[in-house]
């Protein structure tokens, strides 16, 4: 359906007075889209000529909202949600192995189906404006492909509302649970990325665990997104091995490390050397912005050229009773923790949930892009981030979702 969205604004530059940046310049524009693709970006409404206003054209008034890129949830677990289940606190455990063992038993007995719990989680995040998801899905011999197949079935009903990536995730340890063959099957069955978790503290064999992870990635030509909670010297050893394998397999730009708590444990000089190497190998770090003093030095990483992204991770599950499913709330927390208070810092922080550079001379939105975008009733991106302005509307492939 041919659609014209008019009366929206994009930011084009920063406004300064001396050395102080006090705002952003905006310009009004209109965009046309058809079949889910941007077909025209009209710099001002004068360009909306009468011949464009054909009978089959749907016209939407953006009401002077700010036009921003698609919001992306880059770390979530579709299969772990307890949303829709009456309140239960998390059960105390001695360690993570006991946690995921008890979790599996609990999820097998919950009084609400996998599909309904997953739908509740997706709908919650859609209501906050997200239209892209990367979800880790547990894969191990005990569960087999059941969670993956169930998630894929649910996603069939959301084809016009979101896009997604599914990570085959050996939560119980690639080696510890003997999950290698099930991981292969998951990748054959449509998982988009190889996951993994703690090759030392869970698998107890750094070399074999990471070698098998890269074997899967290279065999199926897929990226890696790896949960890494290792600390201190163990973190140092894991990052060194990761970088060696990336360079050996030429897997630059295809590796993400989620959590990466141990980076905060390294001395400053060692950080500089390691962060430069991470940037050179185009490694991405994803954080859920934890408040328990394990958050990695994200601004240092960003300054070193390492891509940083954000995900909600736990949203009321067996690991945490918290989480509201709003990536913008996580971004606001990130800005507050790292004292990002300037117009430019707050504006640039949006890249952590859009993976899109925002302010450019020609504007971020281009003809030929998917018609995935966000509308916000804010004067600027900085206001959107700092003041937690609600998303007014989200569009996916040209269809309104929120």
Residues 360-388 have pLDDT tens digits of 878 899 999 999 999 999 999 999 999 99
**Could you say which of 322, 349, 377 is where a domain stops?**
322
| Res. 151 pLDDT band, cuts 50 70 90 | very high
User: What pLDDT is recorded for position 293?
Assistant: 85
CATH number at residue 310: 3.20.20.140
- The SS3 call for residue 346 is helix
Listed residue (363, 335, 338, 330) closest to 128, CA to CA: 330
User: What pLDDT is recorded for position 362?
Assistant: 80
**Which run of H or of E encompasses 243?**
helix 232-249
pLDDT at 50 over 60: no
| Res. 100 pLDDT band, cuts 50 70 90 | very high
Number of domains in the chain: 2
User: What pLDDT is recorded for position 52?
Assistant: 61
In a shared domain, residues 28 and 77: no
Would you say residue 329 lies in a domain? no
User: What pLDDT is recorded for position 77?
Assistant: 98
| Mean pLDDT value of segment 64-70 | 98
User: What pLDDT is recorded for position 281?
Assistant: 98
| Mean pLDDT value of segment 210-224 | 98
pLDDT at 138 over 70: yes
Question: Tokens standing for 385?
Answer: 């981030």
Q: Which residues contact 182 (CB under 8 A, 6 or more apart)?
A: 139, 140, 141, 144, 145, 170
Would you say residue 314 lies in a domain? yes
In a shared domain, residues 292 and 374: no
Would you say residue 60 lies in a domain? yes
**Could you say which of 307, 322, 337 is where a domain stops?**
322
User: What pLDDT is recorded for position 15?
Assistant: 97
Would you say residue 89 lies in a domain? yes
| Mean pLDDT value of segment 249-273 | 97
User: What pLDDT is recorded for position 49?
Assistant: 60
In a shared domain, residues 53 and 77: no
CATH number at residue 396: 2.30.40.10
| Res. 296 pLDDT band, cuts 50 70 90 | very high
In a shared domain, residues 129 and 239: yes
Would you say residue 88 lies in a domain? yes
pLDDT at 17 over 80: yes
Q: Lowest-pLDDT range, 41-45, 83-87, 124-128, 132-136?
A: 41-45
* Torsion region of 263: left, alpha or beta (phi above 0 gives left; psi -120 to 50 gives alpha): alpha
| Mean pLDDT value of segment 214-243 | 98
| Mean pLDDT value of segment 9-31 | 96
User: What pLDDT is recorded for position 84?
Assistant: 97
User: What pLDDT is recorded for position 1?
Assistant: 83
User: What pLDDT is recorded for position 286?
Assistant: 98
User: What pLDDT is recorded for position 53?
Assistant: 66
In a shared domain, residues 57 and 198: no
| Mean pLDDT value of segment 216-226 | 98
Specify whether the CB–CB gap between 394 and 133 falls below 8 A: no
In a shared domain, residues 204 and 303: yes
User: What pLDDT is recorded for position 361?
Assistant: 78
pLDDT at 45 over 60: no
In a shared domain, residues 261 and 393: no
In a shared domain, residues 259 and 126: yes
Q: Which residues contact 56 (CB under 8 A, 6 or more apart)?
A: 1, 2
| Mean pLDDT value of segment 15-19 | 96
Helix axes 114-127, 146-155, angle to 10 degrees: 50
pLDDT at 47 over 80: no
pLDDT at 51 over 90: no
Q: Which residues contact 338 (CB under 8 A, 6 or more apart)?
A: 298, 299
Specify whether the CB–CB gap between 325 and 125 falls below 8 A: yes
What is the number of residues in the chain? 402
In a shared domain, residues 245 and 387: no
Would you say residue 55 lies in a domain? yes
| Mean pLDDT value of segment 155-159 | 98
In a shared domain, residues 242 and 169: yes
In a shared domain, residues 23 and 110: no
| Mean pLDDT value of segment 136-149 | 97
pLDDT at 55 over 80: no
User: What pLDDT is recorded for position 46?
Assistant: 54
In a shared domain, residues 46 and 162: no
Q: Which domain holds residue 183?
A: 71-322
* Torsion region of 63: left, alpha or beta (phi above 0 gives left; psi -120 to 50 gives alpha): left
């Amino acid at each position: 359906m041919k659609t014209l969205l008019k009366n929206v604004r994009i930011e084009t530059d920063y406004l300064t007075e001396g050395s102080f940046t006090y705002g952003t310049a905006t310009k009004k524009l209109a965009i046309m889209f058809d079949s889910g693709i941007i077909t025209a970006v009209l710099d001002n409404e004068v360009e909306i000529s009468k011949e464009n206003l054909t009978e089959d054209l749907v016209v939407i008034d953006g009401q002077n909202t700010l036009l921003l890129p698609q919001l992306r949830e880059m770390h979530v677990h579709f299969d772990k949600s307890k949303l829709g289940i009456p309140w239960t606190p998390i059960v105390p455990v001695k360690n993570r192995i006991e946690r995921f063992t008890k979790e599996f038993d609990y999820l097998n007995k919950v009084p609400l189906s996998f599909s309904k719990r997953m739908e509740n989680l997706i709908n919650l995040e859609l209501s906050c404006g997200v239209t892209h998801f990367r979800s880790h899905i547990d894969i191990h011999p005990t569960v087999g492909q059941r969670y993956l197949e169930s998630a894929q079935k649910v996603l069939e009903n959301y084809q016009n509302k979101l896009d997604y990536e599914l990570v085959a995730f050996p939560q119980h340890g690639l080696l510890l649970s003997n999950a290698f063959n099930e991981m292969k099957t998951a990748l054959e069955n449509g998982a988009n990325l190889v996951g993994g978790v703690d090759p030392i503290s869970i698998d107890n064999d750094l070399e074999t665990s990471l070698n098998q992870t890269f074997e899967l990635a290279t065999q199926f030509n897929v990226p890696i997104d790896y949960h890494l909670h290792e600390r201190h010297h163990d973190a140092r050893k894991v990052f060194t091995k990761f970088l060696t394998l990336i360079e050996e397999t030429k897997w630059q730009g295809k590796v993400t490390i989620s959590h990466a708590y141990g980076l905060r444990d390294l001395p400053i000089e060692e950080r500089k050397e390691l962060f430069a190497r991470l940037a050179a190998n185009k490694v991405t770090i994803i954080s859920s912005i934890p408040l328990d003093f394990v958050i990695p030095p994200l601004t240092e990483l960003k300054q070193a050229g390492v891509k940083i992204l954000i995900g909600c991770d736990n949203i009321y599950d067996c690991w945490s009773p918290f989480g509201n499913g709003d990536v913008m709330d996580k971004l606001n927390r990130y800005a507050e923790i790292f004292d990002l208070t300037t117009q430019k810092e707050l504006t640039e922080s949006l890249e952590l949930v859009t993976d899109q550079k925002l302010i450019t001379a020609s504007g971020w939105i281009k003809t030929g892009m998917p018609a995935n975008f966000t509308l916000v009733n804010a004067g600027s991106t900085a206001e959107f981030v700092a003041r937690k302005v609600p998303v007014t509307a989200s569009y996916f492939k040209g269809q309104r979702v929120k």
